[in-house]
Amino acid sequence: MLVYWIRLLSSLVLFISTTPVEASEAYSIRRTTAQDNYDLTSPLHKSMLVAVGCFWCGEQAFEQYAPGIIEAVSGYAGADGIDNPTYQNHKGHYEVVLVEYDPSKSSYEVLLDYAWRNMDPFDGNGQFCDKGFAYEPAIFYGDDQERDIAERVKQNILQEYPSWLEADLKIRILERPRFWIAEEYHQDYYIKNPGSYGYYKNACGRSKRLKDVWGESVYQCYHDIDVGCESLENVTNADGTLVEAEVNRKGADEPEASLLPQKYWIFIGASVGGVCLVFIGIYILRKKNGNYEK
């Protein structure tokens, strides 16, 4: 609950301190589907939709570590969700990430491997410290081919981890619903507020749980800007061609956790400033009344 309020208040501080940007100003005009209100940056690109818990973390995981990513966009999606959802009111929606990718440099199947390894597949009530429907894990397919791929990736993982039981895996594979872009202050949060983001991610226990579930070496392979694992240096693109993995297109540094979230530093600064003003006021009054000598 504490981490939830930290995250909520951090969002409000950022919202207050930034100028809102309309979706039409932030993205060019090319639809991913007839319904989504995000526009791909090129007609040659494709997109996928996943719910991996906190969308801030989903953005970072795909943009920094997954191959062929053009943009990862925070938003909301749910078959029974309300229209025009907001962070304060997104009933019936998952927090999701729409991942725009270059199919010549990656594929839906490759990116599903990354999606799985950024989720706790045994927690169907949320992800890590975030609980509730909005944070439940899900993979979305846009057509029958993607559904078959999603099921195949799941079976591959069960073969890779033979001690796991299919009945224990809680990640839903669902038909892709409409995607709604989240507020601008949520986009690229890990870049705009690396200290606060790093604090939240650590406090939420995300990295630790992923290491416990998938293993330390697997975690490091799937969270490496330098693509140090030989098995991931090359990936199969959508045409079935083996290509060199290209990651971290935005060139962002990996965020390091700050000692405290941004809102606490604002509060501390305001408190210290207030105390100083009080003492200065007392000093001036006492001096004016002759209680202090030169």
pLDDT (0 to 100) of residue 54: 98
Q: What SS3 state is found at 104?
A: coil
Confirm if 135 and 171 have CB atoms less than 8 A apart.
no
Pairing of the two strands 242-244 and 94-101: unpaired
Beta carbons within 10 angstroms of residue 230's beta carbon: 8
pLDDT (0 to 100) of residue 63: 98
Distance CA 122, CA 209 (A): 11
Give the pLDDT confidence of 58-78 residue by residue, as tens digits.
Answer: 999 999 999 999 999 999 999
Q: What SS3 state is found at 113?
A: helix
**What average pLDDT does this structure show over 86-96?**
97
Give the pLDDT confidence of 221-254 residue by residue, as tens digits.
Answer: 999 999 999 999 999 999 999 999 999 999 999 9
Distance CA 11, CA 26 (A): 19
Q: What SS3 state is found at 53?
A: coil
As to burial, measured by CB atoms within 10 angstroms (0-12 exposed, 13-18 middle, 19+ buried), residue 242 is exposed
Is the pLDDT at 109 greater than 50? The verdict is yes
Q: Hey, which bits of 52-137 come out as E strands? A: 69-77, 94-101, 126-127, 130-131
Pairing of the two strands 69-77 and 126-127: unpaired
Cα–Cα separations (whole angstroms), residue 277 to 182, 254, 263, 271, 282: 40, 39, 21, 10, 9
Please name which of 46, 44, 32, 5 lies closest in space to residue 181, comparing C-alpha atoms: 32
Cα–Cα separations (whole angstroms), residue 98 to 4, 59, 115, 126, 162: 23, 9, 12, 19, 31
Give the pLDDT confidence of 142-165 residue by residue, as tens digits.
Answer: 999 999 999 999 999 999 999 999
Please name which of 100, 67, 47 lies closest in space to residue 242, comparing C-alpha atoms: 67
Pairing of the two strands 94-101 and 46-51: antiparallel
Q: For the chain, what is the mean pLDDT?
A: 85
The identity of residue 84, as a single letter, is: N
Distance CA 142, CA 63 (A): 21
Residues annotated as catalytic (active site), given as ranges: 54
Cα–Cα separations (whole angstroms), residue 107 to 186, 233, 245: 26, 15, 11
pLDDT bracket for residue 35 (50, 70, 90) = confident
